[in-house]
């Protein structure tokens, strides 16, 4: 792998632990899937609104949205409103709700909670959690072979109505990739899905814009229309350029309790001995 970037500082440890995998011949899709699975399977990431420790919906059980996309082939796979704790990624289709769970069982995935009502929150989520929309998003790039892949995963807005699907797993909304680049985002999915920001960024990259400028242009346009919207984006192009932008002014990492004056994302390149946390520019 030449480059990995991930939304929010909470993915720092997982990216650091996967360095050996990134230095192997593994595909970008597998690198993305493997890293996301590690975080999804670890209950400590629940307060980051990801995986099996995540906050439940208003009926008390978790429903996940997750997706993965390969830029070279445009293969896409997603699950939305999936209840039960699976590690699931299929690269060809979008499945939702009970059908997604049924597909997982038919394909040999083990469910820890087979019905929604057996799924229990691991802790009580409070007032502030309901304002969180953090989404794990990851981009992996290998220039040799022009490989680029993007994936996202979230347990979605805390206390959401059962069946609510946000932006995350929607192609063009929470993620997009083509042969030129990839983008993904985090934030208030009910609003974000109106703007198709990931598609917009990748479209600008395809026209020759560098990822940093593309991210800024898209976030600025969205901000001009809705200056209350929380959105954070990362992107990369096939040449190895990367960028990010957000409307986030202040954020506390739920894992480390560290405070950031903006949107912290994680960057790893093959020349680094350790990943770095970078702060994205904001718009006004
Ligand atoms: N962006 C995650 C969500 O709103 O569900």
CATH number at residue 112: 3.60.20.30
- Whether residue 81 is contained in a domain is answered as yes
- Whether residue 284 is contained in a domain is answered as no
Q: How far is the CA of 186 from the centre of ligand 1 (A)?
A: 7
Higher pLDDT among residues 60 and 133, named by residue: 60
Mean pLDDT of 157-175: 91
Q: Quick check: 106 pLDDT over 80?
A: no
Question: Could you tell which of 154, 164, 263 is best to mutate to test the pocket of ligand 1, judged by most ligand atoms within 8 Å of the CB?
Answer: 154
Give pLDDT, residue 85.
62
* 247-271 per-residue burial string, b: 16 or more CB within 10 A, e: under 16: bbeebebbbeeeebebbbbbbbbee
Mean pLDDT of 199-223: 98
Range in 16-25, 85-94, 118-127, 222-231 with the lowest mean pLDDT:
118-127
Specify the DSSP element, H or E, that contains 219.
helix 211-225
Pocket of ligand 1 (CB under 6 A): 133, 135, 154, 156-157, 166-168, 186-189
Give pLDDT, residue 79.
87
Residue 255 is part of which domain span?
3-279
Q: Count of domains in the chain?
A: 1
- Whether residue 32 is contained in a domain is answered as yes
Q: How far is the CA of 169 from the centre of ligand 1 (A)?
A: 9
Mean pLDDT of 68-79: 94
* 152-176 per-residue burial string, b: 16 or more CB within 10 A, e: under 16: bbbbbbbebeeebbbbbbbbbbbbb
Q: Which pLDDT tens digit goes with each residue over 125-144?
A: 554 554 566 899 999 999 98
Give pLDDT, residue 97.
73
Q: Tell me the chain's radius of gyration from C-alpha atoms.
A: 17
Q: Structure pTM? A: 0.90
Q: Give the integer Cα–Cα distance in Å for 183 and 206.
A: 12
Give pLDDT, residue 114.
42
- Whether residue 36 is contained in a domain is answered as yes
DSSP structural state of residue 171: B
Mean pLDDT of 24-50: 93
Range in 88-92, 210-214, 219-223, 255-259 with the lowest mean pLDDT:
88-92
Q: Give the integer Cα–Cα distance in Å for 137 and 150.
A: 7
Average pLDDT over the chain reads: 88
Cβ atoms of residues 165 and 80 within 8 Å: yes
Mean pLDDT of 210-227: 97
Give pLDDT, residue 80.
87
- Whether residue 189 is contained in a domain is answered as yes
- Whether residue 53 is contained in a domain is answered as yes
Atom of ligand 1 nearest to the CA of 49: 2
Q: Among positive and negative, which fits the CA dihedral 53, 55, 60, 63?
A: negative
Q: Quick check: 233 pLDDT over 90?
A: yes
Q: How many CA atoms lie within 13 A of 154 on its CB side?
A: 31
> Is residue 101 exposed (0-12), middle (13-18) or buried (19+ Cβ within 10 Å)?
buried
Range in 20-34, 89-103, 120-134 with the lowest mean pLDDT:
120-134
Mean pLDDT of 234-239: 98
- Whether residue 174 is contained in a domain is answered as yes
- Whether residue 30 is contained in a domain is answered as yes
């Amino acid at each position: 792998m030449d480059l990995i970037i991930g939304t929010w500082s909470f993915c720092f440890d997982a990216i650091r632990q996967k360095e050996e995998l990134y230095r192997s011949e593994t595909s970008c899709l597998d690198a993305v899937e493997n890293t996301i699975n590690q975080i999804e399977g670890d209950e400590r990431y629940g307060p980051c609104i990801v995986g099996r420790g995540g906050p439940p919906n208003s009926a008390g059980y978790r429903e996940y949205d997750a997706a993965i996309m390969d830029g070279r082939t445009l293969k896409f796979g997603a699950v939305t409103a999936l209840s039960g704790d699976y590690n699931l990624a299929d690269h060809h289709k979008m499945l939702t709700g009970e059908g997604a769970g049924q597909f997982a069982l038919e394909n040999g995935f083990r469910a820890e909670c087979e019905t929604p009502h057996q799924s229990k929150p691991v802790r009580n989520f409070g007032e502030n959690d309901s304002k969180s929309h953090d989404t794990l998003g990851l981009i992996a790039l290998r220039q040799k072979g022009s490989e680029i892949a993007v994936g996202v995963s979230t347990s979605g807005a805390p206390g959401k109505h059962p069946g609510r699907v946000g932006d995350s797993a929607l192609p063009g909304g929470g993620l997009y990739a083509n042969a030129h680049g990839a983008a993904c985002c985090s934030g208030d999915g009910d609003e974000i899905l109106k703007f198709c920001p990931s598609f917009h960024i990748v479209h600008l990259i395809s026209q020759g814009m560098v990822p940093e400028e593309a991210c800024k242009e898209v976030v600025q346009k969205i901000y001009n229309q809705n200056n209350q919207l929380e959105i954070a984006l990362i992107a990369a192009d096939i040449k190895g350029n990367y960028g990010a932008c957000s409307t986030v002014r202040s954020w506390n990492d739920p894992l480390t309790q560290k405070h950031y004056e903006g949107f912290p994302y994680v960057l790893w390149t093959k020349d680094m001995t350790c990943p770095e946390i970078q702060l994205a520019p904001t718009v006004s």
